[in-house]
Structures are given as structure tokens and as C-alpha cells.
Chain A
Amino acid sequence: MSSSSNTRAGATSGPVSRFLKATEIDTRLLGMIGALLLIWVGFHLFGVFFKGSGSFLTPRNLWNLSVQTASIGIMACGMVLVIVTRHIDLSVGSVLGFCAMVMGIVQARILPEFLGLGHPLIWVITALVGMALGAAIGAFHGWLVAYRGIPAFIVTLGGLLVWRGFAFLLARGETISPLDSTFSLLGGGPYGAIGAMGSWIVALIACAAILWMLWNGRRTRALHDFPQRPVWAEGVLAALGCGLVIGATLLVNAYPWPKGIVRQYAAANNLEVPEAGLFISHGWAIPVLIMLGVGVVMTVVSTRTRFGRYVFAMGGNPDAAELSGINTKWMTVKIFAVMGFLTGLSSVVASARLNSATNALGTLDELYVIAAAVIGGTSLAGGVGTIYGAIIGALVMQSLQTGMVLIGFDAALQNIVVGSVLVLAVWLDIVYRKRAK
């Protein structure tokens, strides 16, 4: 983590700290990205030196990594709100499994009877059922916490057991597979990605949004005569933001479909496959776009709306929030409902990716989600946390696991490393916060 910005008197002299001050980039964010890059390069070099070739920093691995992060990343966005208000949700893994099971039954057994197999509405209705169910379960947990005064730890610990039990009972432990073919696109895979052209359109929109945000920020500051960032700093931010978007898009477009899928696709569409093979890009995977969309929406909600402001006020001082006229109990219900909704959404992604619903789906996810939020800088003491931090945290967790699989660590060793990294990350964060004060 970069620490040069926090030394008192000499801080204005160094070019690095002047750069950070002008661009107003969060140094913690830089620290997290630095740690992530360190992990990526470390695993890649390990492969280069000990296995002959590095396989981590390849389009294929990074694309898969992004898809594997989606499920945890989506839930981590909700967990930030829960933890910021000094609660915890241990039930998300089980609720995910339960929602997946219900959705499996809805799309594979109930809806085909009424609509016919493969009807285009099946995936829509199923996904809506899953998200509504998740939101309802979350709201119920929130109600128990807020209006019945049961600690969230206990409510959701109970939920962890209860919903896993229900998931088993629903189909008596059977696995429901395959799922609706359109539904399973939501989980990624060659067909569950939007291709090169679609990816460039998304990138264009994202770049336009970044530029608009910077411009709009300048405009509103000018309206009230507030100090502006220097123009060069705005330029650097625009270049960084758009560069990141374009770089990531180049990366996902550099990962082609496997030969078998290309052959299948060509046969279905009467295309001729040339001698050298056909290069069809994956592009952005749908679950990744869902996660990024959730991240953007949740960032706006948590920083630009009353709801978000109250979440942080409740975390900073629950009594103050109450005395300010905020209905903290109803807020708690809403926060848990949001968590449940995102769990339902995550359940769509996770079961679609497997193309099946099993009662064990999401086991231990609650711990990864909490760890992702905490690694991303969410404080268990409440009041502090960011959505982008949680998504990066999820990426860190997934990178560690993927990397260790690639270099062939066995499962026990993986757990040891992930656990140690969690503790280390929180310790570093505590040290950083103390220095920042």
C-alpha cells in the first residue's frame, strides 16, 4: 500500500503525493489494485519458473476468473451494506442454494407444463421468481432482526441451517439438470458472452459514462465556486478510466471460442470454417456484465441516495440516525431485503453456470462473501465500506483460489493460504487506517 501521502509536513513535496492529491484517487483503492496485480504476476511467474509456462496472465484464465468472480462479487455488494450497518449475514450461501433449487423446479418442472419446453418466457419468469424469493427471505431476516430484536448473527446462523435444509427437502436431494437453455446463458460460457462487437459497444458506453461523470462533476463544482481539480488531473483520470475499460475489452475479445464450439456453431449457421480455424471472440460474459451492473447501481445507491446515506449514518452512530428521524428498523428490513435480492440474482448466475440446481450450491459462499467485503475495506465495526472494494475483494479471493489450482496446490493448502490472506489483509487495513489518522 502506498503510504507516502500521509506523512505530515513533507507531504506536499513528493510528486506521487501531489499526483494523488490532485486526482483525488483513493490510496486504499490503489493498495488493493496493487495487491491484486502482485497476486496475478506472482502466480504467473511461479508458472513460468516451475512449470515451464505461466498460465495465469492469459486471456483464457482471466476471462474464466471474471466469470467465477461474478457470483461472490454480486453478493459482496449487498454484504457491504449489511456489514456497514454493523450486522452480518451468514445465510447467503444457503439462501442461494434454496433459491437455485426453487428456480430449478420452476423452470424444469412447472413452467414447461404450462408454456411448453424452451418457451422464451421461462428464463424471465424463473429469474424473477428467484430474485423475489431471495428478497422476501432477506426481508424476513431483516424483520426478525429489526422488529424482534434478535441479533443478525443468530437470525442468519439459523437461516444458514434452515434454508439449506429446505433446499434439500424440495427435491429430496436430487440434482435438477439440465436447466432451460436460455436461462443457462446467464451463467456465461461461449454462448453466454456478448461477442466482440457487443463488447465494443459496451466499452463505448462505459467510456462515454466516465467522461460524462468527470464533466458533470466539474460543472456542478463550478456552479458553487468550489475548487476544481487541475485539468491535467481530470485528463489523467479520464485516460485511466477509459484505458482500463478498453484494455479489459481487448482482453476478453482476445479469448476465442474453443474449436469444438466453433465447428458446432459453423455447422448450425452454414458457415465455412477456413483451414486456420475461425476466430470468434467470447467478449464480455453475461454474468460479469451483471456483476458490473450491480456494482454501478449499488455504488450510486450507496453514495448518491438517501437510502445509502442512512446506511452509513446507521453504521456510524445508530443512536444519531434514530434521533435524526431515520426509521432505522424499516431501514434494516430494506437492507436485508437488498442482500436477499442480490443473493437471488447471484443464485441465477451460479445455477446457470452449472446448468443445474443442486442442494449443495453455494455451500460456504457466506464466508467468501464476507471475506470479499472485508478484504475490500469494509469495517466490521460499521460505518465504513465501498462497493468497488468488495468487488475487488471478491476478485482477490477468486484469484488466489484459481492461481493455486493452476500451480497445483492441494485443497488443504488452498484453505490455509486463503485464510491467512484474509487475516493479513484486515491487519494491513488496520495499520493503514491508524497511519491515515
Chain B
Amino acid sequence: MTNKGTPLVEMRDISISFGGIKAVDHVTIDLYPGEVVGLLGHNGAGKSTLIKCLSGAYQMDSGEIFINGNKAEIRSPRDARGYNIETIYQTLALADNLDAASNLFLGRELIGPGGFLNDIAMEAETRKIMGRLNPNFRKFNVPVSALSGGQRQSVAIARAVYFNARILIMDEPTAALGPHETQMVAELIAELKKQGLGIFLIEHDIHAVMELCDRAVVMKNGQRVGTVNVSDVTDDDILGMIILGKNPPQAY
């Protein structure tokens, strides 16, 4: 797959360190519209840290981020949302004591007359989007702590999708899910791709990467090992990159 034109996201020469340890060391990656880029590597390779610079959870020490070719300043999750970047975190980032609608609209509540929360409208919108994403979802009026892993995940995904994300970051979206729900997430990713979103997918499962991603970026010890077009390589090539840090000839 060849990408032409301006990338949706370009992260140039990003570095960030914690207490003298270089968690991310001069890494450059990019993402084009309608593309899924997998980020792979061992635990502690720096994938999540790198992507948190984009979602605003961490501030990078050096480097630049370009969105649609324009330099972007991302200092907080709010800034990231301003660039239509939505993140689905590994830990789901849901407030367990609130219901699905409250979580979906958290930080962006619908306000009715008098400046009060319009809970009814938020619930109605939540019912609409959940009807699309997960038609079996019924538990609208209970805290999300009472939901199953898959139901929670669909709330987290609904939150990211509802607000017209252009760039979606998914941190191991299927880690806690059963096979049926994993399939649901895969279908959703394909659907969003068709709509022209760019998706960064952090994933450990090599088969999921082969199935879902267009390109894969492999990281090791905070550095980028290489990037491959998934259709050009085998799982063994990618495993070799992850484990040994050895690039196949197709990599760049």
C-alpha cells in the first residue's frame, strides 16, 4: 500500500524520558486517512508512551506533531480532543459509578435550558449510537461497573466514535474480550476505516494485526525497529522484528 499526500498524523522525532530512562527515543511515525497502523512491541517497548503523547496524557520532551500537515500543540487530553483525536484506553477510562450515557458524554455533556444537564437527551443519543454499535446493549440506567467487559468496551468505543473522531487511538481494544466481542470490534474497525478515519492500534496479538492493520510499526527499547506493509510480510517476519529487532528486507 502506498500513501500519497499529506498524512493525517505525523509524529516526528518524538522523545520522552522518565527519570533518566528513555521511554521513547527519537521515534517518527505517520498515519494516513482510512488506514490502520499497528504499533507492536514487548511490554515496555514504548508503544503506549508514544501514543499517550498524541492523546495528551503525557507531554513529550522533544519532537513535533503535525495534524493534516499543520504543527499541533497537544498538552492535555482536551487539546487532543480539539484535533478530533479520540482514545480508547487499555484501562477503558470509564467512571465505574456512572451510567453509560454519563460516561459517553463525560467532559462534553449536553446542556439543556437553564444550564442544567440534559440527561434525557444524553440517554436518547446513547441509545441511538449503542443501537448501531452493539444492538444487544440494554443496560442504560445502571452504573457501568455492572456491565460485562464487552459491554464496557462498547461504551468506550461509542464515546470515541460519537464525537466525529478523525484519528482514533485504540490501546489493546480486544484484550479483555471474548471471541464474539472481538469480532464486533474487528467489524467496527473495518467500518470506521471505510469512513476515512485513521486508526492507531496498539496490539499484542499478531493475528489481529495481520487481519486488521495496513501497516505495522515495531518498537523495541523505546526505539523504532522498522515499519512494514502487512500484506508484504508473514507473521514470522513481524515476530522476528519484535523479538530480535531484526528487519526483513521489505521493511523501511
Cα separation A322 to B95 with both chains bound (whole Å): 11
Partner of B95 from A220, A221, A224, A312 at Cβ < 8 Å: A312
The stretch that binds A, out of B118-126, B193-201, B202-210, is B118-126
Judge whether B95 and A321 touch: CB under 8 Å.
Answer: yes
Judge whether B123 and A226 touch: CB under 8 Å.
Answer: yes
Judge whether B98 and A323 touch: CB under 8 Å.
Answer: no
CB distance from A381 to the nearest CB of B (A): 10
Contacts of A315 in B (CB 8 A): 97
Contacts of A319 in B (CB 8 A): 91, 93
Contacts of A317 in B (CB 8 A): 93-96
Contacts of B115 in A (CB 8 A): 305
Partner of A321 from B91, B106, B121, B124 at Cβ < 8 Å: B106
In B117-135, which residues have CB < 8 Å from any A CB?
117, 119-121, 123-124
Cα separation A324 to B78 with both chains bound (whole Å): 7
Judge whether B95 and A383 touch: CB under 8 Å.
Answer: yes
Judge whether B81 and A325 touch: CB under 8 Å.
Answer: yes
Cα separation A317 to B144 with both chains bound (whole Å): 12
Which residues of A are interface residues toward B (Cβ below 8 A)? 220-221, 223-224, 226, 300, 304-306, 309, 312-313, 315-317, 319-326, 383-384, 437
Partner of A305 from B55, B91, B106, B117 at Cβ < 8 Å: B117
Contacts of A383 in B (CB 8 A): 95-97
Partner of B96 from A221, A300, A316 at Cβ < 8 Å: A316
Convert B65-86 into 0s and 1s, putting 1 for each residue whose CB lies closer than 8 angstroms to a CB of A.
Answer: 0000000000011100100000
Judge whether B107 and A224 touch: CB under 8 Å.
Answer: no
Contacts of A437 in B (CB 8 A): 146
Contacts of B120 in A (CB 8 A): 220-221, 223-224, 226
Cα separation A317 to B156 with both chains bound (whole Å): 14
Q: Which chain B residue has the least Cβ–Cβ distance from A223?
A: B120
Known: A313-B98, A316-B143, A383-B97; 8 extra A-B contacts, CB below 8 A, are: A304-B117, A317-B95, A321-B106, A322-B77, A323-B57, A323-B93, A325-B107, A384-B97
Contacts of A323 in B (CB 8 A): 55, 57, 77, 87, 89, 93
Contacts of A320 in B (CB 8 A): 92-95, 103, 106
Q: Which chain A residue has the least Cβ–Cβ distance from B82?
A: A325
Cα separation A421 to B119 with both chains bound (whole Å): 37
Contacts of B143 in A (CB 8 A): 316
CB distance from A60 to the nearest CB of B (A): 40
Contacts of B109 in A (CB 8 A): 306, 309
Q: Which 7 A-B pairs have the closest CB atoms?
A: A316-B95, A316-B97, A324-B107, A383-B97, A325-B78, A320-B93, A325-B107
Q: Which chain B residue has the least Cβ–Cβ distance from A308?
A: B117
Is residue B102 contacting chain A, with contact meaning CB distance below 8 A? Answer: yes
Contacts of B124 in A (CB 8 A): 224, 226
Cα separation A437 to B143 with both chains bound (whole Å): 11
Is residue B186 contacting chain A, with contact meaning CB distance below 8 A? Answer: no
Contacts of A326 in B (CB 8 A): 106-107
Contacts of B175 in A (CB 8 A): none
Cα separation A105 to B81 with both chains bound (whole Å): 51
CB distance from A233 to the nearest CB of B (A): 16
Contacts of B108 in A (CB 8 A): 325
Is residue B116 contacting chain A, with contact meaning CB distance below 8 A? Answer: yes
CB distance from B98 to the nearest CB of A (A): 6
Judge whether B98 and A316 touch: CB under 8 Å.
Answer: yes
Can you list 28 residue pairs at the A/B interface with Cβ under 8 Å? Answer: A223-B120, A224-B120, A226-B124, A300-B116, A304-B117, A304-B119, A305-B115, A305-B116, A309-B98, A309-B109, A312-B95, A312-B98, A313-B95, A316-B95, A317-B95, A317-B96, A320-B92, A320-B93, A320-B106, A321-B95, A323-B77, A323-B87, A325-B76, A325-B78, A325-B81, A325-B108, A326-B106, A326-B107
Q: Which chain A residue has the least Cβ–Cβ distance from B93?
A: A320
Cα separation A306 to B108 with both chains bound (whole Å): 9
Contacts of B93 in A (CB 8 A): 317, 319-320, 323-324
Is residue B111 contacting chain A, with contact meaning CB distance below 8 A? Answer: yes
Partner of A224 from B96, B111, B121 at Cβ < 8 Å: B121
Q: Which chain B residue has the least Cβ–Cβ distance from A226?
A: B120
Cα separation A148 to B94 with both chains bound (whole Å): 26
Q: Which chain B residue has the least Cβ–Cβ distance from A301?
A: B116
Contacts of A223 in B (CB 8 A): 120
Cα separation A305 to B116 with both chains bound (whole Å): 5
Q: Which chain A residue has the least Cβ–Cβ distance from B96?
A: A316
Judge whether A324 and B96 touch: CB under 8 Å.
Answer: no
CB distance from A229 to the nearest CB of B (A): 13
Q: Which chain A residue has the least Cβ–Cβ distance from B109?
A: A306
Contacts of A305 in B (CB 8 A): 115-117
Q: Which chain A residue has the least Cβ–Cβ distance from B102?
A: A309
Judge whether B97 and A324 touch: CB under 8 Å.
Answer: no
CB distance from A93 to the nearest CB of B (A): 29
Q: Which chain A residue has the least Cβ–Cβ distance from B94?
A: A320
Partner of A325 from B77, B89, B91, B146 at Cβ < 8 Å: B77
Of B87, B94, B123, most A-chain CB atoms within 10 Å: B94
Judge whether A313 and B117 touch: CB under 8 Å.
Answer: no
The answer to whether residues A309 and B77 also contact, given A226-B123, A316-B98, A320-B94 and a CB cut-off of 8 A, is no
Q: Which chain B residue has the least Cβ–Cβ distance from A381?
A: B97
Partner of A324 from B77, B91, B111 at Cβ < 8 Å: B77
Convert B31-72 into 0s and 1s, putting 1 for each residue whose CB lies closer than 8 angstroms to a CB of A.
Answer: 000000000000000000000000101000000000000000
Contacts of A312 in B (CB 8 A): 95, 97-98
Cα separation A326 to B108 with both chains bound (whole Å): 9
Cα separation A316 to B152 with both chains bound (whole Å): 15
CB distance from B100 to the nearest CB of A (A): 13
CB distance from A22 to the nearest CB of B (A): 15
Cα separation A385 to B92 with both chains bound (whole Å): 24
CB distance from B130 to the nearest CB of A (A): 15
Contacts of B121 in A (CB 8 A): 224
Contacts of A316 in B (CB 8 A): 95-98, 143
Cα separation A323 to B91 with both chains bound (whole Å): 11
